[in-house]
Structure 1
Amino acid sequence: MGAVPPHLAERFAATELHRLLGLELLEARPGYARIALRTGPATLSGVGGAVHGGVLAAMVDIAMLFALQASLQPGDVPNGTADLGITYLRPVHGPRAEAEAHIIRKGRSLAYAEVAITDAQGSLCARGRTLYALRQAPPPG
């Protein structure tokens, strides 16, 4: 398992949604994050008892956000997800899923990320793409 900076681990753990979904932050470093989902009755409400597609989309957004947060520079101000797309390739069944996010490009006002979601066997189940808006903090004074 990779390292997670303490400030990101605390932020992740303090978010009620993460606990409700059964998410765990496994790794976070500049430009990269990996989260895991323990499936359960609340998440296995998709077709045929698979993980609900909305839960997978939330995983895309959350994994991207922590890869980005690990990449923020002084003056970068998070401004929210501007666009999120997901392609479902196969249903996620079983006890666990992981989302792995890579920041592909980060500029002054937008960051682009790609996210892969795999099941417990390591099979690719979904691919996500996000644009995240940033703004620059005004200069002090």
Structure 2
Amino acid sequence: MSKLTDVVEFRIANGYYAIDVQIAREIVEMMEITPIPRSPDYITGVTNLRGEVTNIINISKLIGLPESVASETQRIIVIMPDASQGSNVGIIVDDVRSVMQVNEEDVEALSESLSSDVTDYVKGIIKVKEDASDTMRLIIWVDMQKVLDQIIS
């Protein structure tokens, strides 16, 4: 019997990505973000989320993706504090598509010949069959825990 894992699928620019659902605390609409002077370019700033100061990360800049234009569909995925060493952290995405179950048989590992910088932060490529056709859509499964561990340590 194959293992199922729940992931949150989201879009950044023209690509589809996912993170493990257990490290996502909630998904909120985009809100006002206050920039922090002299912070790294991947830190968009901070926001007040229900009385808690939350650091907002631009995941596009952090993992080297093309940056998108702000839109009404942008969301913030708030990460569980225990995944971010007690910090309140949210990541900006262009759109949240769904929470879905992934069968381990539908996940393909990245080639070991690729740079370790790439393979360190990608758990695998999720292959999803589109509803009405035989075409496959590929979703990059980001290891958000490793990404957070590097920037917070």
Give TM-score scaled by structure 1 length. 0.26
Give TM-score scaled by structure 2 length. 0.25
Higher relative contact order (CA 8 A, sep 6+): 2
